[in-house]
Amino acid sequence: MLNPSVLLAAVQDTSRADGPGWILRTVIIVGVIGAALLAWFLLRGYSNNQD
């Protein structure tokens, strides 16, 4: 079994090279979902439901 300090060092090395980070990824995902919901909400008003 590996020493926990070795595991923590490995995690730190990989997290530095991970790119923009989890906060930016979360903001992008929430923004895309929000844009899709906003488009759905706005476009559903254009439906023609005359009986």
Q: Is the pLDDT of residue 13 over 70?
A: no
Calculated CA dihedral for residues 20, 21, 24, 25, nearest 10 degrees: 100
- For residue 44, what pLDDT is reported? 87
Task: Look at 23 and 3; give whichever has higher pLDDT.
Answer: 23
23-41: per-residue pLDDT in tens? 888 899 999 999 999 999 9
Cα–Cα–Cα angle for 41, 30, 46, rounded to 5 degrees: 10
In this prediction, residue 6 has a pLDDT band, given cuts at 50, 70 and 90, of low
Q: Is the pTM of this model over 0.85?
A: no
- For residue 37, what pLDDT is reported? 95
